[in-house]
Structure 1
Amino acid sequence: MSQHDRFKEGVVCYKNGQYDKAIEHFTEALLSNGDQYNIYDSRAAAFEKLGDIKAALLNAKKVIDLAPERWQGYARSARLFHDLKKIPHAARMVQLALERIKPEDSQRRTELERLQASIAESQARADAQLRKTACHIGMLPVEILAEIFALDVTPNAGRAITLSHVCKFWRRLASENPTLWRTLVLSDRQPERKLQTWLERSSCNIHSLHLTDRLPHHQYGSLMGALDKLQWERLRSFTLTCSDACGIVIRLSNGKHNFFSDLEEFEVSSTRFSDKRLEELLPQSLRAFTLNECLILTGDGGLWQHVTRLSSLTLRSSTLDIRAVLEGNPLLENVTISGGIIPHESIVPQPLSLDRLCHLDIQDCGNISRLLDQLTAPALRTVRFVGNPLDSSHLLALFPDRLTELTELRLGRCSLQAFDVIRILRNSPSLITLEVSTVYDCVNKILDFLSGSSSEKSQESLLPCPALQHVDVSRCTDLKTGPVIRFVKSRKVVLDDSEADEGSSLDSLRLDGCPDFQADCLPWLRKQIKVVSCVYMTKKQAKTVKR
Structure 2
Amino acid sequence: MDWQEPFKKAVLYFKRSKYGECLRLLNYALEHGGSDQYAIYDSRAAVYEKTLRLREALLDVKEAIRLAPNRWQCYSRAARLFLLIRKFDEASKMVELALQKINPTDDKNRTTLIALQSQVFESRKRLCCHVGMLPTELLSTIFGYMVEEDAVLVILISRKDPIRKSAWWVQRSKGRIRKLCLRRTLSDKVDWSLDKLDGIQWDNIRSCHLEDIDILKQLEKASALNVISQLETLEIRDKLMDSREDFVSHLGDSLKNLTIDGAIMSLGDLQVHSLVSLKAVQLGERFMDDLFQLLTNNPSLESLVVGSPFNTFRDLPETTLTLAHLAVLDYSSGSTQLFNFLRLPSLEVLSCRHCVQSNAILQCLLDSTTDRLKSLSFDSCAHHATASILDALASPELCPALSHLDFSACADVTSSLLIRVVKPRLSQAQAHNTSQEEMTEETMSEIPCVAEIRSLITNECPAVTTESLSWFREKVPDFTANGRR
TM range (shorter): 0.5 to 0.7
Pair 503,195 (structure 1): closer, same or farther in 2 beyond 3 Å: farther
Which of residues 180, 195, 213 in structure 2 aligns to 1:224? 195
Q: 2:201 matched to 1:258? A: no
Is contact 2:406-2:457 (8 Å) kept? Answer: yes
Give 1:96-107 correspondences, 5 Å limit: none
* 1:78 match: none
Deviation, 1:396, is 2.1
Q: Please give the alpha-carbon distance, in whole angstroms, between the structure 2 residues aligned to 1:524 and 1:408.
A: 26
Which of residues 458, 473, 477 in structure 2 aligns to 1:511? 458
Write the letter of the residue equivalent to 2:355: C
Q: Please give the alpha-carbon distance, in whole angstroms, between the structure 2 residues aligned to 1:186 and 1:536.
A: 34
Is contact 1:295-1:320 (8 Å) kept? Answer: no
- Residue-by-residue CA offset, 1:253-296 (whole Å, 9 max, x unaligned): 3622226x5x4xxxxxxxxxxxxxxxxxx2x2222333223443
Q: 2:281 matched to 1:338? A: yes
* 1:432 match: 374
Give 1:287-366 correspondences, 5 Å limit: 287-293=232-238, 294-296=241-243, 304=249, 307-325=252-270, 328-343=271-286, 347=290, 352=296, 354-366=298-310
* 2:477 match: 530
Q: Please give the alpha-carbon distance, in whole angstroms, between the structure 2 residues aligned to 1:406 and 1:480.
A: 26
Which of residues 355, 368, 376 in structure 1 aligns to 2:321? 376
Q: 2:236 matched to 1:236? A: no
Q: Please give the alpha-carbon distance, in whole angstroms, between the structure 2 residues aligned to 1:509 and 1:405.
A: 22
Deviation, 1:303, is 5.8
Is contact 1:337-1:365 (8 Å) kept? Answer: no
Greater Cα radius of gyration, structure 1 or 2: 1
**Unpaired runs of 5+ in structure 1?**
1-160, 264-281, 453-461, 538-547
Pair 471,356 (structure 1): closer, same or farther in 2 beyond 3 Å: same
C-alpha RMSD of the superposition: 3.8
* 1:414 match: 355
Q: 2:202 matched to 1:202? A: no
Is contact 1:199-1:206 (8 Å) kept? Answer: yes
Pair 193,424 (structure 1): closer, same or farther in 2 beyond 3 Å: same
Write the letter of the residue equivalent to 2:192: Y
Q: Which moved more, 1:328-337 or 1:412-421?
A: 412-421
Deviation, 1:240, is 3.2
- Residue-by-residue CA offset, 1:17-73 (whole Å, 9 max, x unaligned): xxxxxxxxxxxxxxxxxxxxxxxxxxxxxxxxxxxxxxxxxxxxxxxxxxxxxxxxx
Q: Please give the alpha-carbon distance, in whole angstroms, between the structure 2 residues aligned to 1:336 and 1:287.
A: 14
Q: Which has the higher contact order (CA 8 A, sep 6+)?
A: 2
Is contact 1:357-1:377 (8 Å) kept? Answer: no
Q: Please give the alpha-carbon distance, in whole angstroms, between the structure 2 residues aligned to 1:209 and 1:382.
A: 27
* 2:418 match: 484
Q: Please give the alpha-carbon distance, in whole angstroms, between the structure 2 residues aligned to 1:305 and 1:198.
A: 26
TM-score between both structures, scaled by the size of structure 1: 0.51
Write the letter of the residue equivalent to 1:434: L
2:346 is paired with a residue whose SS is: coil
Which of residues 406, 424, 428 in structure 2 aligns to 1:494? 428
Pair 193,292 (structure 1): closer, same or farther in 2 beyond 3 Å: closer
Deviation, 1:200, is 4.1
* 1:450 match: 393
Deviation, 1:446, is 2.2
Deviation, 1:468, is 0.4
Write the letter of the residue equivalent to 1:258: A
Write the letter of the residue equivalent to 1:463: E
Query: Which consecutive aligned stretches of 4+ in structure 1 deviate over 6 angstroms post-superposition?
Result: 163-166, 348-351, 500-503
Write the letter of the residue equivalent to 2:160: R
Write the letter of the residue equivalent to 2:172: R
**Unpaired runs of 5+ in structure 2?**
1-138, 437-446
Deviation, 1:376, is 1.7
Provide the aligned length of Structure 1 versus Structure 2. Answer: 324
TM-score between both structures, scaled by the size of structure 2: 0.57
Write the letter of the residue equivalent to 1:384: D
2:190 is paired with a residue whose SS is: helix
Q: Please give the alpha-carbon distance, in whole angstroms, between the structure 1 residues aligned to 2:182 and 2:263.
A: 20
Is contact 1:361-1:384 (8 Å) kept? Answer: yes
Deviation, 1:228, is 1.4
Q: Please give the alpha-carbon distance, in whole angstroms, between the structure 1 residues aligned to 2:169 and 2:340.
A: 51
